[in-house]
Amino acid sequence: MKLLVVEDHPALRELLSRHMARSGFVVDVAEDGRQALAMLELSRYDAMILDLGLPDMDGLDLLAARRSTRNPDLPCIILTACDALNSRVAGLDAGADDYMLKPFDMPELEARLRAVLRRAGPRREAYINLGNLSFRQTDRALLVDQRPLLLPKRELALLEELLRNAPRVVIKDRLEERLYSMHEAVTLNAIEALVSRLRRKLNAAGANSSIETLRGLGYRLAPTTYSLLRS
């Protein structure tokens, strides 16, 4: 899943980014509203953590402006030092899904983020299943025939993206957008190498679904009874 953190305080912005990345999110960060709006136009996100006290605009204005970007219904948690009742009401009425006060505990923020994501569309289900593959969304655990399969976070993110779209094809450009933050350099063969490693691990674990390559288009996860060209 891809997360946008909008926070003008450098140390807190770095703390949020590092923690959420360790928890398996792909994280982009913005230090002001204009930068955040540019990112919302360029990439699709699963959720946004938003500070209200931005240097160039009110966070509520950014929340409203997101509706004209590629992320019109983006789930949002407001993170602010303002504890006034009218501020909390205004934030929730403006479309925020949750509201947390600074200072805060990181585990609680992460738990609230998971709760917001569960409420957003197809993420309401606890599991995403395909054949004997099962992805448990509460703790991002992958099971093959009910046995845990541990994967590096990028491979797990790739599998999650393919599972969410199965059996549809996911184009390579979309995978690059979803699996890498804007500041990361992506080599020409990064996705191919990632797919190759994940495919080998799924095969070794006995998965009865496989990653299929459609040359010039992208990849899809499908039952092994399907026969399409593979790399």
Which tens digits make up the pLDDT trace of 106-156?
A: 999 999 998 898 876 544 567 889 999 999 887 889 999 999 999 999 999
Say if residues 210 and 195 touch (Cβ distance below 8 Å).
no
pLDDT at 229 over 60: no
Which CA distances in Å does 166 have to 49, 65, 128? 28, 32, 10
Q: Looking at the predicted structure, is the pLDDT value of residue 53 above 50? A: yes
In percent, how much of the chain has pLDDT > 90? Answer: 71
- In which residue are the tokens 């020409």 written? 188
- Tokens 């191919």 belong to which residue? 192
DSSP state of 59: H
Work out the average pLDDT over 15-40. Answer: 95
* Predicted structure pTM score: 0.79
Structural tokens at position 53: 């006290």
Mean pLDDT of the region 63-85: 90
pLDDT of residue 110: 92
Go through 133-163 and write b for each residue having 16 or more CB atoms within 10 A of its CB, e for each that does not. bbbebeebebbbeeeebebeebbbbbbbbbb
Count the Cβ atoms, other than its own, within 10 Å of residue 57. Answer: 14
In contact, 114 and 138? CB cutoff 8 Å: yes
pLDDT band at 191 (very low <50, low <70, confident <90, very high): very high
pLDDT of residue 226: 44
Res. 44: pLDDT tops 90:
yes
